[in-house]
């Protein structure tokens, strides 16, 4: 078996041929995508997990967003960056307006010579592996840190990011409630580099059941619920051909067990035709958006209107605001987590006591509430009829974020409360020391990369060049905070 560094170096060489047909790549010289700056609004997050896919995490978290809000994960295209998607896609407008957080994963030329997400590489795009696993670690971090509602996590992406979006929806239907694929590829269309270009220009001629099997095979045994999927495609896209949108429609309608004939169609701005495929309850399960005459890119529509968004740039095309229509399809415009039509958020949530394994909470009762749902780090832990709860089985010396929603007698959940943090007593962990190459430190999640150097998570100390030739000892204390300790490191365990 090849060592990981050799496999990545080989991928960098081979990927140039694989992605050569992308205009994102032919219009610009081959170079690393610029790192997204930690400017006002967009912030880099380090130490979000072991990061097996060697990705970078950036996040936009509006100050007005309370715990229990949805989360959107947005994946850039080849040679782009998280900052380009943040600046041009329009998602930040609706994050502010509707109240949700956005995570922008970023890959670099260290993973792929053209900074493409590895949608065509099963070592990167399948459950529990590589880049796909890194994205899910970002989701878990957001649930714990921002209090994101684990029931309302969505993923969207352009081109290679769209291909990875489809793969994530297939591999993690238990994580993502919905997705949106823009100028992208069906899930597991290519399972190796040699097949990637063929998928872009014309995917295999498979039946809907065969396409659906690629999804079902990505997480064997899962029977639903399945993510709700939006598909965006330009009719004049000669990079990722429109046949991919048809294959995506066939794939996800088959997974849902519905036909390939739309339940309804509608004309939208920018020469866009929206086709809706409803589930057995009459709710939209799959929607396709065909943009007449549009080439390869993400549809945006700059302006001040409610359905206007984004900025035009390379591969951000002025036609229609895809972020608006996608957000409406997912229900983001109705608030979180109960769709905005239910009871108000419980007020007065507070921690009344902790032990080394429990946390006790109380909140003000809500008129009309039949029950309350309590969320720990974005995941529901209980439903209770009273306005108090004691959580048990916790880890000593650990912080947890809690929020609460009220549910009426019809089962409709209301808005999420403001979050509170409870830290259990005891359990101070000893420092730990790790000696490894800079490459290994980054791969293990103890450091991150920027400008070709490795930087220690937490302390942000410069560790030198990001490669397998420079070795450092890092001391971890507290958890997630690493400092260089080459001169000596006393630790409880390693």
- 81, 108 contact by CB (below 8 A): no
Count of beta carbons in the 10 Å neighbourhood of residue 31:
11
Q: Distance between CA atoms of 78 and 8, rounded to whole angstroms?
A: 17
Q: Which residues contact 459 (CB under 8 A, 6 or more apart)?
A: 481, 482, 483, 484
Q: Please tell me what DSSP assigns to residue 95.
A: I
Asked about 301 being catalytic, the answer comes back as: no
Active-site residue identified among 159, 301, 322, 403 = 159
* Helix boundaries (H) for 19-159: 23-26, 82-88, 91-94, 122-125, 130-145
CA-based nearest residue to 468, from 436, 435, 437, 434: 437
Q: Distance between CA atoms of 400 and 147, rounded to whole angstroms?
A: 9
Q: How far is CA 401 from the centre of its chain?
A: 20
Q: Distance between CA atoms of 331 and 227, rounded to whole angstroms?
A: 13
Tokens of 71: 């989360």
Tokens of 54: 């060697």
Burial 389-400 (b: 16+ CB within 10 A, else e): bebeebeeebeb
- 401, 351 contact by CB (below 8 A): no
3-state secondary structure of 22: coil
Q: What's the burial of 280, exposed, middle or buried (CB within 10 Å: 0-12/13-18/19+)?
A: exposed
- 416, 375 contact by CB (below 8 A): yes
Count of beta carbons in the 10 Å neighbourhood of residue 341:
12
Q: Distance between CA atoms of 177 and 153, rounded to whole angstroms?
A: 6
Angle at which helix 243-256 crosses helix 208-216, to 10 degrees, equals 70
* Dihedrals phi, psi of 18, to nearest 5 degrees: -60, -45
Q: Distance between CA atoms of 129 and 49, rounded to whole angstroms?
A: 13
- Cα 289 to Cα 181, 242, 279: the distances in Å are 10, 11, 18
Relative to beta strand 284-291, strand 228-234 is parallel
CA angle 116, 112, 196 (to 5 degrees): 60
Q: Distance between CA atoms of 74 and 158, rounded to whole angstroms?
A: 9
Name the residues annotated as catalytic.
Answer: 159
């Amino acid at each position: 078996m090849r060592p990981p560094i050799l496999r990545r170096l080989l991928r960098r060489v081979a990927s140039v041929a694989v992605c050569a047909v992308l205009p994102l790549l032919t219009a610009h010289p081959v170079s690393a995508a610029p790192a997204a700056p930690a400017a006002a609004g967009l912030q880099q997050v380090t130490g979000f997990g072991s990061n097996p896919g060697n990705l970078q995490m950036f996040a936009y978290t509006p100050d007005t967003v309370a715990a229990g809000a949805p989360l959107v994960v947005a994946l850039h295209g080849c040679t782009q960056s998280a900052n380009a998607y943040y600046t041009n896609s329009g998602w930040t407008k609706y994050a502010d307006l509707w109240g949700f957080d956005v995570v922008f994963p970023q890959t670099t030329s260290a993973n792929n010579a053209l900074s493409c997400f590895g949608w065509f590489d099963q070592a990167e795009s399948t459950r529990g592996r590589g880049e796909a696993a890194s994205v899910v670690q970002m989701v878990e971090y957001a649930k714990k840190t921002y209090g994101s509602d684990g029931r309302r996590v969505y993923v969207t992406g352009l081109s290679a990011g769209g291909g990875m979006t489809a793969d994530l929806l297939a591999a993690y239907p238990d994580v993502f409630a919905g997705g949106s694929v823009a100028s992208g590829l069906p899930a597991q269309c290519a399972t190796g580099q040699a097949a990637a270009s063929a998928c872009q220009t014309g995917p295999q001629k498979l039946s809907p059941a065969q396409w659906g099997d690629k999804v079902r095979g990505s997480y064997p045994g899962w029977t639903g619920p399945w993510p709700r999927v939006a598909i965006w495609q330009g009719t004049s896209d000669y990079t990722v051909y429109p046949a991919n949108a048809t294959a995506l429609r066939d794939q996800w309608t088959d997974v849902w067990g519905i036909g390939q004939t739309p339940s309804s169609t509608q004309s939208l701005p920018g020469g866009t035709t929206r086709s809706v495929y409803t589930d057995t309850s009459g709710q939209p399960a799959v929607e396709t958006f065909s943009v007449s005459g549009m080439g390869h890119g993400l549809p945006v529509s700059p302006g001040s209107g409610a359905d206007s968004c984004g900025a035009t740039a390379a591969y951000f095309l002025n036609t229609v605001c895809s972020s608006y229509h996608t957000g409406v399809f997912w229900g983001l415009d109705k608030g979180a987590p109960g769709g905005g039509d239910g009871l108000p958020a419980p007020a007065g949530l507070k921690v009344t006591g902790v032990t080394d394994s429990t946390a006790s909470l109380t909140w003000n009762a809500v008129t009309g509430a039949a029950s309350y749902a309590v969320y720990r780090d974005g995941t529901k832990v209980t439903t209770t009829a009273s306005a108090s709860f004691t959580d048990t089985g916790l880890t000593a010396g650990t912080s947890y974020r809690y929020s609460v929603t009220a549910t009426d007698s019809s089962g409709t959940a209301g808005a999420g409360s403001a979050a509170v943090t409870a830290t259990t007593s005891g359990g101070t962990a000893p420092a730990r020391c790790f000696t490894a190459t800079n490459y290994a430190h980054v791969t293990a999640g103890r450091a991150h990369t920027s400008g070709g150097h490795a930087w220690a998570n937490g302390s942000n100390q410069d560790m030198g060049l990001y490669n397998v030739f420079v070795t450092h000892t890092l001391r971890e204390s507290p958890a997630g905070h690493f400092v260089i300790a080459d001169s000596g490191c006393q630790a409880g365990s390693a």
